[in-house]
Amino acid sequence: MTHRALRTELCDRLGIDVPVIQAGMGFVARGELCAAVSQAGGLGMIGSASLTADGLRDEIRKVKALTDRPFGVDVLFARRPRGDGRFTSEVEAFLDVVFQERIAVLASGLGDPRTAIPRAHELGMTVMALVGNTRNARRVAESGVDIVVAQGYDGGGHTGRVGTMTLLPAVLDAVDLPVVAAGGIADGRGVAGALAMGAVGVWVGTRFVASEEATAHEKYKARITDIDDEGTIRTRCFSGKPCRMIRNRTTEAWEAPELQQRIEPFPRQFAVVAEWLGEDPYIAGRREGKVEVGALAAGQSSVLIDRVEPARVILERMVHEAEEAFERLAG
């Protein structure tokens, strides 16, 4: 039986055993990882980025075949809705699949899910949105989301300018909603710290990239276990938005002023950097293991990760370490 401090409002709302959500990472968080985390008692997520609508449906059904536990889908609502309030055709297709498959949780990893929320609530779904500052926390709270995920500067992938230790209490003060902490959390000490500050759970990405079930090249996973606390950089070179990536020759080249001036706004930068590199940097890094040139999202918590393990083992260790932390606090 887990420590009572680990049984939070998030567990009761989502029907999970421990308040750990595996981030919906593009290219990486597919059905096998999602199912493993949910089966182990957390909340697994499928990342829709890089999938087609049919591919997303296949991954959802894979999870359903592997576990009967709740899970979610992360959709990037990054492209502005059209004048009629509808999203781009790609996002609309993802939402159609999510609604048809009756997923437990819809997460917005980037952008505003506002116009999708009424339908999600009609179907009994929980909606959560990631934010990087208090202004956006208030915006998504006003839009009707159920849970706010406060992701600090230290997190991997698209991230803001405020560190988790400052952002989390600021968001807790800014909104009257449950708040999940993200960014820099890779072990049970981070889980205990976030809960002690008032979060109802944690959103964990980088640690689960370095899992056996993650759909990522082994060299990508190994690079996470190798780098230290300065092994990542926040760069706009891959997507046009600030994104924390593992440092390599591509990130170094795009720090030069002449290339900085060439960076296009999201999402046009995807095509710009692909043309410059001569290949898709996301496929190169995450699928082909070209770690010196590819786009490898990772947070500063990489320094805490020294091995690739099954997702269940990762989650169980987090819970054990969090319990030990709470026991130390209690004397």
158 in active site: yes
Name, in order, each residue with C-beta under 8 angstroms of 270's C-beta and a sequence gap of 6 or more: 238, 239, 240
| 186-210 b/e (C-beta count within 10 Å ≥ 16 → b) | bbbbbbbbbbeeebbbbbbbbbbbb
Residue with tokens 């297709």: 93
Cα–Cα distance measured from residue 191 to residue 195, given in angstroms and rounded to the nearest whole number: 6
> Letter for the amino acid at 46?
I
Find residue 235's DSSP bridge partners: 243
Structure tokens at 167: 């952002």
Contact between 45 and 22 under an 8 Å Cβ cutoff? The reply is: yes
- How far, in Å, are 51, 82, 184, 286 from residue 219 at the CA level? 22, 40, 21, 9
> Letter for the amino acid at 127?
V
Structure tokens at 254: 């795009």
Among the options 3, 121, 158, 217, which is catalytic?
158
Instruction: Count Cβ atoms within 10 A of the Cβ of residue 283 and give its class: 0-12 exposed, 13-18 middle, 19 or more buried.
Output: middle
Contact between 22 and 44 under an 8 Å Cβ cutoff? The reply is: yes
Instruction: Give the helix/strand (H/E) hosting 127.
Output: strand 126-131
Query: What is the maximum alpha-carbon separation in the chain?
Result: 58
Cα–Cα distance measured from residue 319 to residue 132, given in angstroms and rounded to the nearest whole number: 26
CA atoms within 13 A on the CB side of 328: 11
Contact between 48 and 17 under an 8 Å Cβ cutoff? The reply is: no
> Letter for the amino acid at 17?
D
Residue 118's CB is within 10 A of a number of other CB atoms, namely 11
- Active site amino acids: 158
